Amino acid sequence: MLRYRRTLFCRCSNLKKISLYIHIPFCERKCLYCDFLSFSAPDEVRREYVSVLIRQIKSAASQYKDRRVISVFFGGGTPSVLPGTLICDIMDNIRNEFDVDKSAEISIEVNPGTAYDLDSYISAGINRLSIGLQSSVESELKKLGRIHNVRDFETLYEQALLKGFNNINVDLMSGIPGQTLSSYEGSLRYLVDDPFRPKPSHISAYSLSVEEGTPFSRMKLDLPDEDTEREMYKITSDILSEKGYTHYEISNYSLAGSECEHNKVYWRRGDYLGLGLGASSMVDNVRWKNTGSIEDYIKKDDFAPKQVGHLTIKDQMEEFMFLGLRMKEGVSIAGFREYFGVPFPPEYDQVIDKYVSLGLLKKDKMCVMLTQDGISVSNLIMSEFIF
């Protein structure tokens, strides 16, 4: 029996949609490449944090009675470091305070090296797992500073399937120090070639980015060169396409019906509310962040928006273009006109024509999209839509 309760809301058809991101900043040990807001903390701090988070949920919900929640995403940090009962408590309060759609996608990030609680996740109504494998090569996991090994992943994946989870994402990383094209292909095939283990319904395959302030930024790293990384990207697309995956976003691949609905809200500029330490929000073209100070958040119940920004029409157009180009379906020409009431500005037409002539963009009557060659220089192309 599911543990969660439902508060009765008016199921009105005119409720606007919103998604919730729940930030859990704790981890057992920070990975060497990680620049997210995360840190280790004792159990009493984790529990106190959840109590404050629940107070923020209640405070925020009173402002969004005209909204229906279509997705919830627990990210971090490592949400699976929390006892499952606390995840249940958080979801109970979300369901009691917000109007959560009965078909909402509810995801949680899970590290195979933590004491995850799949039964509690089921009780909480969680229906999607995102597992951070990163590599099936033990030496590469150690170089990244991951706390798990390959067997930990196998145990978690097998248990999740046995418990009935059929919507599972696995994260895979390219560009790891010392990684070769052969070792990366081995990790990829490890996920999709085993005849005795069902393939993940979704794979997020992304390249390592060495960010300032991380331990990696202070180390001399043996990183694959650009040509090797480009080839890694190509074989990812080729192999996963052969295995029945749709390459629906630059770094994301899914089997039929398993695209990440929560992330699509970001890429399509939908409204989302970030709850928890340092979480970001965008509602009605206003962006803000929560405090990044754990002391202020816990001791002062500091829920006041920080870094508030009202997006101008120019801002919105830029986001519409560069976020839309992340999706393989591209930017809808009619959608742009419907949203803004005008066609592409001349500056955009010039950028589009330039990259179409170079074979990096493709344009038809319906949309503008990156070509396969364009994906490899997507950041450069996207940046040209920002004036």
> What pLDDT is recorded for position 47?
97
Q: Say if residue 145 is preceded by a cis peptide, omega within 30 of 0.
A: no
Question: Across all residues in the chain, what is the average pLDDT?
Answer: 95
Which is it for strands 367-370 and 246-249: parallel, antiparallel or unpaired?
unpaired
Radius of gyration of the chain from its Cα atoms, rounded to whole angstroms: 21
Instruction: Kindly state the tokens that stand for 3.
Output: 């543990």
- Amino acid 387: pLDDT: 81
Confidence class of residue 376 from pLDDT cuts 50, 70 and 90?
Answer: confident
CA–CA–CA angle 15, 252, 292 (5° rounding): 65
Cβ-contact 292, 308 below 8 angstroms? no
Residue-level pLDDT at 145: 97
Distance in angstroms (rounded) separating the CA atoms of residues 40 and 75: 15
| pLDDT for res 3 | 54
User: Is residue 369 predicted with pLDDT exceeding 60?
Assistant: yes
Grade residue 9 by pLDDT with cuts at 50, 70 and 90: very low
Query: pLDDT band for position 8 (50/70/90)?
Result: very low
CA distances 25 to 52, 94, 364, Å, are: 13, 18, 44
What does the buried/exposed string (b/e) look like for 336-358 if buried means 16 or more CB atoms within 10 Å of the residue's CB? beeeeeeebeeebeebbeebeee
What confidence score (pLDDT) does residue 162 get? 97
Contacts of 164 (CB under 8 A, 6+ apart): 122
pLDDT at 313 over 90: yes
Q: Please report the domains of the chain, with CATH numbers, ordered by start residue.
A: 16-267 (3.80.30.20), 312-387 (1.10.10.920)
Report how far residue 133's alpha carbon sits from residue 258's, in angstroms, rounded to the nearest whole number. Answer: 19
- At 98-132, the pLDDT tens digits run 999 999 999 999 999 998 999 999 999 999 999 99
Quick count: other Cβ atoms within 10 Å of Cβ 67?
Answer: 19
